A and B are shown apart, each in its own frame.
Chain A
């Protein structure tokens, strides 16, 4: 009985976190903030839903699904990396930051590296 409630709460919580992630995608101003919202909370929502499904099959079908566990591990590993690569590709192709941003350490670092490179060649 308490298991049903636990599974229901897990899956509902996962769905709610996914919806919050979508609100972040719509309302946040630039690529990096959107990527922040999409990567973290979508990963969390998917993990919660998958874990709820895993618990359901374990409790009611008496079947420990290794595929769901593997899916949890795989999404947990790969989804943040996809977010990282998206953000980096956006930065390299020159997407500007939101106008309210106050700090851009990567810009100064890249300028420093370019000066070092040109100093080496020149």
Chain B
């Protein structure tokens, strides 16, 4: 008999938006508050896994056309690249820099190169977590 998933699907539509927003908040706040690349990436991955659970793997893979293995590799490369940037400017490996800039909308903002490193960490975590879920869920 065919199952009826209307309640799960419509709640997932709301909850995935809330989880993604909160994971971006966690990711951006990592410099001064609890948060950062790791839990930001993990909560994004949990939103994606929630979509997998309620809508099915094929349908989500059609709409999120990202190869998660490549995503993890790109994340590690970004993290390595920010480490190498310190070497290029004559500093030790993994040296981070920050400064204060006047941005059009945000006003006086602190921009740190640690954010780019965190982006790499987040992408690597998203790629690894989703890839583990995908590979243990496949039937062979």
Contacts and interface: CB of A to CB of B under 8 A. Distances in A.
Chain A partners chain B: yes
Interface of A: 67, 70, 73-74, 77-78, 81, 84-85, 110, 113-114, 117
A74 B7 contact: no
B14 to A, nearest CB: 6
B40 to A, nearest CB: 14
B8 interface: yes
B18 interface: yes
B11 A78 contact: yes
A81 B1 contact: no
B52 to A, nearest CB: 15
Interface in B1-33: 1, 7-8, 11, 14-15, 18, 22
A68 to B, nearest CB: 12
Of the four ranges (under 10, 10 to 19, 20 to 34, 35 or more), the interface on chain B belongs to under 10
Interface of B: 1, 7-8, 11, 14-15, 18, 22
Given A110-B1, A113-B1, A114-B1, A74 B8 contact: no
B8 A78 contact: no
Given A74-B15, A77-B14, A84-B7, 4 more contacts: A67-B22, A77-B11, A78-B15, A113-B1
Contacts of B8: 81, 85
Q: Which 7 A-B pairs have the closest CB atoms?
A: A81-B11, A74-B18, A78-B15, A113-B1, A84-B7, A81-B7, A77-B14
B18 A70 contact: yes
A63 to B, nearest CB: 12
A27 B19 CA distance: 35
B20 to A, nearest CB: 12
Contacts of A113: 1
A49 B8 CA distance: 26
A67 B33 CA distance: 13
Contacts of B14: 77
Nearest to A84: B7
Nearest to B19: A74
Contacts of B7: 81, 84
Contact of B18 (A73, A84, A114): A73
A110 B4 CA distance: 12
A110 B8 CA distance: 20
20 contacts: A67-B22, A70-B18, A70-B22, A73-B18, A74-B15, A74-B18, A77-B11, A77-B14, A77-B15, A78-B11, A78-B15, A81-B7, A81-B8, A81-B11, A84-B7, A85-B8, A110-B1, A113-B1, A114-B1, A117-B1
